[in-house]
Structure 1
């Protein structure tokens, strides 16, 4: 007797199921059983594709980090157009309006997951470290175009923006901040660099 449905792209379907569980139940509710139940498949499906649950979680985080590349390219291409604060507010909202806050909670709550991710992200918090690099790259492009002061310290501004964005979106159970609140924080952070 079948115990679930056939999965066309098991890996991606399991990742999407994990995100839904993570958003709904938080890191403590994310178990292999919860993921496979959400995906509508047998528990063995997860273990057929991943050596264990922490290997699955590490690949989930790495996959979500890889998705930053497309966002990074789009943000860099926007350099020289529109308002810098608008682009950054949109980028922070896009990043933290997704599952990123929940993933940060997951990474900080699981020692084995953090240890596995240290192989590819040796410092900082995985996902936030890579997002900081995306913001720094954009700020560098804007500085080169003269839209930020020549002495603007992008290596200090980028983590400030990521930290402030994370704080604005940290309450995953409440409503997200209004766009104008995000823009106001971005503008205040950039005030000395504009």
Structure 2
């Protein structure tokens, strides 16, 4: 496509293309050329919308963070005592599945590998590993909502619980990259982590 041809939504087209490249080829296959070829546009299109490739990737990370926050925000809705998923384990299993999608898993690898990208994302004041840090914050908000519902004991340390779930979830899903882990295995892990904080459920 000639560089002078306008696209109706170039950013969305490029983001969709980079997600396909990540899922198909992994972080090792990610270049500005692979993205623009996948999108079917000239390379100059990317640089008309973004300062450089790391700026483009930072935009993608922010869009994925927003999606995770929206997904977990829906779980966090506590407009009534019976709101939210059927059980704590149901909710956390769903939350981890939404966080650790194939795209997000590969994107975390990209963030870890690219110092300039990580620095740009951290410039907003978020410590830790971008995307995982924000996911952990959203997961903590969900756990606090479950605590208000009475499905987590009042004295439970939900901040530590969120970190434990994020770390364990990352290891579990990364081991099955390309496909989610078996649902029964995921529930078993979540049950083991939460057994000590659910009222009436022993560790």
Does the alignment reach a TM-score above 0.5? yes
Could you say if the C-alpha distance between residues 103 and 174 of structure 1 is closer, same or farther in structure 2, counting changes exceeding 3 Å? closer
1:182 aligned to which of 183, 186, 191 = 186
How far apart in 1 are the matches of 2:178 and 2:10? 32
Matched-pair contact (CA < 8 Å) for 2:68–2:98:
no
1:103 is matched with which residue?
107
How far apart in 2 are the matches of 1:3 and 1:120? 32
How far apart in 2 are the matches of 1:140 and 1:167? 24
2:174 aligned to which of 136, 158, 170 = 170
- Tell me the number of residue pairs that the alignment of Structure 1 and Structure 2 aligns: 194
RMSD: 1.9
How far apart in 2 are the matches of 1:183 and 1:147? 16
1:191 aligned to which of 183, 188, 195 = 195
1:49 is matched with which residue?
49
What TM-score results when the alignment is normalised by the length of structure 1? 0.92
Could you say if the C-alpha distance between residues 17 and 174 of structure 1 is closer, same or farther in structure 2, counting changes exceeding 3 Å? closer
Q: Does 1:127 align with 2:111?
A: no
Matched-pair contact (CA < 8 Å) for 2:14–2:35:
yes
1:136 is matched with which residue?
140
What TM-score results when the alignment is normalised by the length of structure 2? 0.88
How far apart in 2 are the matches of 1:37 and 1:128? 29
1:81-108 Cα distance to aligned partner (Å, 9 max, x none): 5110111101111221341100100000
